[in-house]
Structure 1
């Protein structure tokens, strides 16, 4: 229960809600950055928790249904509001929901859009779309939308564990080595996700596929490393203002298996004055299982 950030929710109109949450001043995974700003992935996780709660409480989704996410996005419009102070942030989501692909009782489809208010200041917006389905429907979706492939052949082609080197936690903006989900495979320099199903936060409940929030963490960590030149050893970069994640959009295309390699392929890396835009795909068995677009912005020192 320590990972639940929601504190209250109330219906304020047709498909309109206010969802309250409290963000901790510190967190083992989603900790403040070196300038003292709250990790924006707390916003993404709060969006996820909010829609799950609203689905059960207001849209009659049975507790036993499986949730399958299609896409999640957020944008921070005023990062200064996220500065950690002497008390935990008081958070309110002004949420509006809509049914999409809704065929109850077996399939409940929902989309939520939310405006983020932190300590009384509007500072972002985001959204999430998913379906909640019964076990029979889940098995059909799982079989229809999974990555085909020969596990032995894929593992052999991937180069084996001996060629994969973990990236330092500092390079990806994390504090603990076990929180780093990124590794590099040589020869070739391929970026690959390191999936630890025993991680108490990223896998806080059993899953038979790669969860959306784990994929988002992989995208974020690679984005942090590239935007802040985490492998360059450039002392000039270290003294400059760090790049912070301003927006992120993730779309899931297929179920990703937990026992097959997931590579992260950079499709676009565009620099402009003060920003860096990255488009990254997660690939398994040669097929794109999820894609992301991130914008990193250089912050004030």
Structure 2
């Protein structure tokens, strides 16, 4: 898959492999998920990172827009909302080979005004080897450069915005506390109060900022929400055989552009009434710049049993020879 057709600069970050037409606005999209990844790595139970689903849906929408619907490659894509749900985590266990997944996708135009503006939504069902295991959707608008500059106003270029964001040194949370492996992958920094955090991604991060941008990308906001959710649900160190939590669904609404050179505060609220009645934890995570809400995420974290030392995770495929 050519990198430009999924808006990626690095070959290693291209997950969509091909697509075929099943009917009018109906497609089958193939993808290959890596056995390991610097950012979207498997968890301790060898399950694939759920954000691989959201990134694959994003790439599928961009690819179909260019390949099938003829949206110009020079158009800017702006996300409005995204949601995903993992219904069968066991189907997404990593084995001895990269994981081949399929998206059965349906396309819907929401605001089509060519050649300047193309608004669209994609709904996708996820399966592995015919085994249904999740779903998701994404709504975007693709704008020509003139239209994009009009809605962005007097915002400076990507280089100046990234430079401004990098002026202050990062003091991010230890990566293991937010479910990440490397210091550069942690995007959370303690905020001004005990209940607030700052979203401080590394502007030189090769995956979060795969190519220049003048605003916080949707996937960066989603990574911040995921890390804050992990920190919240794992505030106490789990014991072997005890409870842990994994992200099984998220719904993100983007209400405004997130500027790179403006502090972004993250706050979390939990439905405590629901928590008393259910095993899972339901968190609402908000991103604010100043007093303005720029994005909100409703997430569900389901309990999983920690694998005992030396125990093989249930459902883990036997590595191929």
* TM-score, length of structure 1 as denominator length: 0.89
Render the CA deviation track for 1:28-68: whole Å, top value 9, x for unaligned.
Answer: 10000011110000000000000000000111100100000
SS of residue paired to 1:53: helix
Shift of 1:268: 3.2
Tell me, yes or no, if the aligned pair for 1:65 and 1:135 is still in contact at 8 Å.
Answer: yes
Shift of 1:195: 2.4
Cα distance in structure 2, aligned partners of 1:254 and 1:228: 30
Find out whether 1:291 has 2:296 as its counterpart: yes
Q: Residue 131 of structure 2 is aligned with which of 104, 107, 121?
A: 121
- Residues 48-57 or 164-173, more deviating: 164-173
SS of residue paired to 2:57: helix
For residues 88-167 of structure 1, the aligned pairs below 5 Å read 88-143=98-153, 165-167=171-173
Counterpart for residue 184 of structure 1: 190
SS of residue paired to 1:299: strand
- Residues 8-17 or 81-90, more deviating: 81-90
Render the CA deviation track for 1:68-90: whole Å, top value 9, x for unaligned.
Answer: 00011000001111111111111
Counterpart for residue 148 of structure 1: none
Q: Residue 29 of structure 1 is aligned with which of 25, 28, 39?
A: 39
Counterpart for residue 253 of structure 1: 255
For residues 156-235 of structure 1, the aligned pairs below 5 Å read 165-186=171-192, 188-229=194-235, 232=236, 234=237
SS of residue paired to 1:101: strand
Q: Residue 41 of structure 1 is aligned with which of 51, 56, 68?
A: 51
Cα distance in structure 2, aligned partners of 1:291 and 1:144: 25
Counterpart for residue 278 of structure 1: 283
Q: How many residues align?
A: 285
Cα distance in structure 1, aligned partners of 2:38 and 2:201: 18
SS of residue paired to 2:113: coil
Tell me, yes or no, if the aligned pair for 2:238 and 2:244 is still in contact at 8 Å.
Answer: no
Gaps of 5+ in 1: 146-150
Cα distance in structure 1, aligned partners of 2:211 and 2:73: 14
Counterpart for residue 4 of structure 1: 14
Shift of 1:161: 5.4
Tell me, yes or no, if the aligned pair for 2:288 and 2:294 is still in contact at 8 Å.
Answer: yes
Tell me, yes or no, if the aligned pair for 1:82 and 1:118 is still in contact at 8 Å.
Answer: yes
Tell me, yes or no, if the aligned pair for 2:195 and 2:267 is still in contact at 8 Å.
Answer: no
SS of residue paired to 2:214: coil
Tell me, yes or no, if the aligned pair for 2:31 and 2:101 is still in contact at 8 Å.
Answer: yes
Gaps of 5+ in 2: 1-10, 156-160, 307-321
SS of residue paired to 2:55: helix
Q: 1:298 to 1:80 in 2, by over 3 A?
A: same
Q: 1:187 to 1:263 in 2, by over 3 A?
A: closer
Counterpart for residue 313 of structure 2: none
Cα distance in structure 2, aligned partners of 1:97 and 1:21: 18
Cα distance in structure 1, aligned partners of 2:126 and 2:32: 12
* TM-score, length of structure 2 as denominator length: 0.84
Q: 1:142 to 1:186 in 2, by over 3 A?
A: closer
Shift of 1:188: 4.2
